[in-house]
């Protein structure tokens, strides 16, 4: 298992290297190399997770190591899909290091096999976890696109066309990509929450139990709902949308990690050390 992890992380780090080379040298070949390295890493990663699934007999979200690994895996997967669909090449400069970072942190935590937990064997749970993770991975990308937007807008507004102005695409492309990320993320998060409710009803007999993670997920959902609503009604776009995407992701990070460490609740069990 260790060797598998090592290969995956190596691929991700090499991909990061490729994307940074692209950022500095502006040769398309580096970007392609970075992309294919990420694809390779993602494939190995998928195999590793599948292997773990079969070996342990349940979905590998038992401890923090596994949860982070799944998080990295979904970010990589979602990025590859977006890259394939939207061709925002420069986004890899954000996504590849993010995935690498998550995986390196994951590797720092021990991967102690947790005792077989029956509640992890439910299809609803798998769907719930995967949907929420895809949603959050999309929001992570939206945050990255938002950062790039702010960089580019600053360059244009301040009229100081430095390093990033030439390397970043148009504001329009950044804005529409960010919107697409948030739309996908919101749809997946909604779906994830609904399956979570169904699952909670099946296991605990109630849809909602005022668990801190549930509350914070609800807050996140409301925030993105507001953002989308504003965009559709009064055309919230550009700078404001970018800032909101970044704030939204900060709240997600808190929901994802902070709640587990600082507050109690039934979600906490899955991410204990």
Partner 1 sequence: MLDIVLMGLNHKTAPVTLRECLAFSEDETSAALKVFRESPAIREAMLISTCNRVEVLMATSDTSNAADTVKVFFSEFKSLPVSEFEKSIYIHEGDDAVRHVFRVASSLDSMVVGEPQILGQIKAAYQIATSKKTSGVLLNKLLHRTFFVAKRVRSETGIGDHAVSISYAAVELGRKIFGTFEGKKVLLIGAGEMAELAVEHLIRNRAGDILLANRTFKNGVELAKRFNGQAIRFEEITGFLEHVDIIISSTGSSDYVVTRDQVKGIIRRRRNRPLFFIDIAVPRDIDPEINRLTNSYVYDIDDLKGIIDENIEDRNREAIKGERIVDEAVISFRHWFESLDVIPTIVELRDKMEDIAKGEIKKTLQTLKHLSDDDHEAITRMTNAMINKILHDPTLLLKSNGHHQNKSVYLDVTRKLFKLDE
* Residues in contact with partner 1 by the rule CB under 8 A: 152, 156-157, 159, 161, 165, 169-173, 234-240
> Of 14 and 90, which has the nearer Cβ to partner 1?
90
**Residue 265 tokens, joined:** 């609740």
> Of 171 and 257, which has the nearer Cβ to partner 1?
171
- Which conformational region is residue 57 in: left (phi greater than 0), alpha (psi within -120 to 50 degrees), or beta? left
Distance between terminal CA atoms of the chain? 18
- Cβ atoms < 10 Å from Cβ of 167: 17
Residues 219/224/226/229 CA torsion (nearest 10 deg): -150
> Of 171 and 194, which has the nearer Cβ to partner 1?
171
> Of 168 and 252, which has the nearer Cβ to partner 1?
168
* Shortest separation between residue 173's beta carbon and partner 1, angstroms: 5
Are 8 and 44 a contacting pair, CB within 8 Å?
Answer: yes
* Shortest separation between residue 238's beta carbon and partner 1, angstroms: 5
* Shortest separation between residue 179's beta carbon and partner 1, angstroms: 12
Are 273 and 106 a contacting pair, CB within 8 Å?
Answer: no
* Shortest separation between residue 266's beta carbon and partner 1, angstroms: 42
């Amino acid at each position: 298992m260790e060797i598998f992890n090592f290969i995956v992380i190596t691929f991700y780090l090499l991909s990061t290297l490729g994307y940074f080379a692209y950022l500095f040298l502006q040769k398309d070949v580096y970007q392609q190399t970075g992309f294919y390295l990420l694809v390779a890493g993602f494939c190995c990663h998928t195999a590793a997770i599948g292997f773990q699934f079969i070996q342990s007999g349940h979905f590998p979200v038992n401890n923090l190591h596994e949860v982070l690994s799944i998080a990295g895996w979904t970010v990589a997967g979602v990025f590859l899909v977006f890259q394939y669909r939207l061709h925002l090449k420069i986004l890899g400069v954000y996504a590849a290091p993010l995935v690498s970072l998550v995986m390196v942190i994951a590797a720092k935590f021990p991967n102690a096999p947790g005792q077989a937990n029956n509640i992890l064997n439910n299809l609803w749970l798998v769907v719930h976890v995967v949907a929420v993770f895809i949603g959050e991975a999309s929001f992570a990308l939206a945050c990255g696109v938002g950062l790039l937007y702010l960089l580019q807008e600053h360059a244009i507004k301040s009229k100081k066309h430095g390093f990033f102005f030439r390397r970043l695409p148009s504001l329009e492309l950044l804005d529409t990509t960010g919107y697409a990320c948030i739309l996908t993320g919101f749809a997946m998060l909604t779906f994830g929450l609904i399956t979570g409710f169904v699952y909670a009803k099946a296991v605990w007999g109630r849809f909602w139990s005022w668990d801190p993670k549930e509350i914070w997920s609800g807050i996140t959902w409301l925030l993105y709902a507001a953002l989308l609503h504003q965009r559709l009604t009064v055309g919230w776009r550009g700078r404001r949308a970018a800032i909101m995407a970044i704030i939204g992701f900060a709240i997600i990070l808190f929901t994802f990690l902070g709640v587990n460490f600082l507050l109690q609740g039934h979600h906490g069990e899955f991410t204990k050390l």
